[in-house]
Structure 1
Amino acid sequence: MQSQTKRIKVFAPATVANLSCGFDVLGCCLDTVGDEMIISLSSEPGVRITKIEGADLPIETDKNVAGVAVKALLEIYEKEIGVNIEIYKNIKAGSGIGSSAASSAGAVWAVNHLLDNPFSPHKLVEFAMEGEKLASGNAHADNVAPALLGGFTLVRSYDPLDVIKLHTPKDLVMTVIHPQIEVKTSDARSVIKQKVTLKQAIHQWGNLGGLVSGLFTEDYDLIGRSLEDVIIEPMRSILIPEFNNVKNAAIQNGALGCGISGSGPSIFALSKGMDTAKKVADAIREVYATTGLDFDIHISKINSAGIKILE
């Protein structure tokens, strides 16, 4: 039986993926930046994107990540229904903070809610990944999983898909700087070497295990020591102006760690406490003020709930 509510408005949050040591497997959900979406059910079968504001994105269903994700859901759903989708983008495409993931995850979450939740949040991850596949050519879950589950998430396995929600220490605050340049996920993936040395792999495994342990034990020093990427960051950082200077400024002003958010160009810094996060924001703002580039800075606590109903 479907919910009596045929329309819903949701907040689809931005996310930070990889978190230095967890390429394609780690992510976390932000609380202060995200898209808004209005999803409604229709008696006319099919999925339609009826409005997009804030970005120049395809309105054709098969070319839009939200449309593709909802179509994947409806292929499994037993009844034929229609869905209309309005998207109000506040996360810029190519920003590195999960723009496509917000649209994909927000759409399937809202449709599932209107249908009285026939699918679990973990199953919704699979549908939303189809949107990510359209956006980047790779069906990764490190952004859609935290958007749907909230907090920090770990993709333990992709085949079969196994996503684990991790513990979120309450004092963690994220500072993100988004330079107004675009780094396409496909381009950022093209610079990555397909082979790593055993030494690099061992180093990265240790950091990943340390970060997961640090989150559960709320050991902030361990979290900081583990936010290190010896595989992806050295190659991708050359695509981001002033990356090393931003990272140094963040660490010098108290951040636990700093790295590339997703495929970039956004840079994240994770801090203990809002005061430190604001101090880090001021420091990295000073770095970018000298570049002549426009940029946005977001300061956000970790969003443990994920997608939220607005009305």
Structure 2
Amino acid sequence: MNEIKIFCPATIANLSCGFDVLGLCLDTAGDEMIIKKSNTKGVRINKIVGADLPLETENNVAGVSLLAMLEEVEADFGFEIEIYKNIKAGSGIGSSAASSAGAVFGANELLGKPFTRKELIKFAMQGEKLASGNAHADNVAPALLGGFTLVRSSNPLDVIRIESPEELFATVIHPQIELKTSDARSVLKKTVSLKSAITQWGNVGGLVAGLYTKDYDLIGRSLHDEIIEPIRSLLIPGFNLIKNSALENGALGAGISGSGPSIFSLCRGNEIAQKIAAGMGKIYDDLDVPYEIHVSKINPDGIKIISTNP
């Protein structure tokens, strides 16, 4: 094939207790990308629609990720990229990850799949490093692999994919403000107490166990952040009101999506997810905060191919 069009899904990272190590893939929100072969070697970003982002390859997360991949594979042709952004930058649902993961996935397909999806993660992480200053995998991993992912180690990279329980739904509300990942990281403490660390470790283990055993109550008990949320929540308008509304409407748990400002909840079933969405929306309507809401099952596939051209 000479051209591929793909859907690059939004993601939720951290999942309360799993800072920089846990993430999940959404199914109803995401970008689209078109990647074409070019007779001229190298990487060119020809078009970005929906966002004011740099076209220069070295300054764009998609370009940087693909350049990293091309350092490890011989290609006798180049690539041209078009990005159609539906995930707003700084939204907390993996905007940079969608572009980073999409670029390497699409190019890998055009190259005849020299790398597995899991092997593509390390290249996409370079885009995340450009965006936030930190080469984290908790968004790009679920974008590429689907379902839930656990980053056991970043160096060496060790990522475990976890199937989602069938009835698990996510509701995400995005107040229309931008909160850069680099800024959200800057407010975090460099050390934590042993007591807080022990609580967090227990919740990470409980959440992973709950996913494997499909124990929704255990999932809910484990969606608690002892370390990051108390600090970052201060940057998000109406956070406690939104979280309490979600819990009152049947959420298993709720917290900050990625670095914010989006707020997520997980629940059992679409009916409860829609009820949570309505409650969240009412809070921001009352506060006169503009917002977007996404309700989604967990995407089991990650990036999806929309079409190809020979």
Q: TM-score scaled to structure 1, two decimals?
A: 0.98
Secondary structure of 2:287 counterpart: coil
Structure 1 stretches of at least 4 aligned residues deviating more than 3 Å after TM superposition? none
In structure 1, distance between residues paired with 2:159 and 2:298: 18
Give the paired residue count: 307
Secondary structure of 2:65 counterpart: helix
CA deviation after TM superposition for structure 1 residue 123, in Å: 1.2
- The letter for the 2-side match of 1:116 is G
1:45 aligns with 2:41: yes
Q: Which residue of 2 aligns with 1:184?
A: 180
Secondary structure of 1:140 counterpart: coil
CA contact (8 A) 2:174 2:293 kept: yes
CA contact (8 A) 1:74 1:80 kept: no
In structure 2, distance between residues paired with 1:87 and 1:79: 22
Q: Which residue of 1 aligns with 2:226?
A: 230
Among residues 212, 215, 218, which one is paired with 1:216 in the alignment? 212
In structure 2, distance between residues paired with 1:305 and 1:83: 24
> Over aligned residue pairs, what C-alpha RMSD do you find?
0.6
1:128 aligns with 2:106: no
Among residues 1, 10, 14, which one is paired with 2:10 in the alignment? 14
What does the per-residue CA deviation read over 1:1-47, in whole Å, with 9 as the maximum and x for residues that have no partner?
A: xxxx1100000000000000000000000000000000011111010
Among residues 71, 95, 100, which one is paired with 2:96 in the alignment? 100
Q: Which residue of 1 aligns with 2:70?
A: 74
1:287 aligns with 2:283: yes
1:246 aligns with 2:250: no
In structure 2, distance between residues paired with 1:206 and 1:114: 43
- The letter for the 1-side match of 2:14 is N
In structure 2, distance between residues paired with 1:252 and 1:52: 40
Secondary structure of 2:278 counterpart: helix
Among residues 62, 76, 86, which one is paired with 2:82 in the alignment? 86
CA contact (8 A) 1:20 1:259 kept: yes
1:26 aligns with 2:22: yes
CA deviation after TM superposition for structure 1 residue 290, in Å: 1.2
CA deviation after TM superposition for structure 1 residue 120, in Å: 1.2
Among residues 194, 197, 200, which one is paired with 1:198 in the alignment? 194
In structure 2, distance between residues paired with 1:167 and 1:156: 16
CA deviation after TM superposition for structure 1 residue 79, in Å: 2.9
Q: What are the ranges of 5 or more consecutive residues in structure 1 without an aligned counterpart?
A: none
Secondary structure of 2:172 counterpart: strand
CA deviation after TM superposition for structure 1 residue 121, in Å: 1.1
Secondary structure of 1:20 counterpart: coil
Tell me which moved more, 282-291 or 214-223: 282-291
In structure 2, distance between residues paired with 1:294 and 1:253: 21
CA deviation after TM superposition for structure 1 residue 119, in Å: 0.6
- The letter for the 1-side match of 2:221 is R
In structure 2, distance between residues paired with 1:29 and 1:72: 23
Percent identity over the alignment is: 67
1:163 aligns with 2:159: yes
What does the per-residue CA deviation read over 1:152-199, in whole Å, with 9 as the maximum and x for residues that have no partner?
A: 000000110000001210100000000000111011001100100000
Secondary structure of 2:4 counterpart: strand
Q: TM-score scaled to structure 2, two decimals?
A: 0.98
- The letter for the 1-side match of 2:117 is P
CA deviation after TM superposition for structure 1 residue 80, in Å: 3.9
Q: What are the ranges of 5 or more consecutive residues in structure 2 without an aligned counterpart?
A: none
In structure 2, distance between residues paired with 1:131 and 1:241: 28
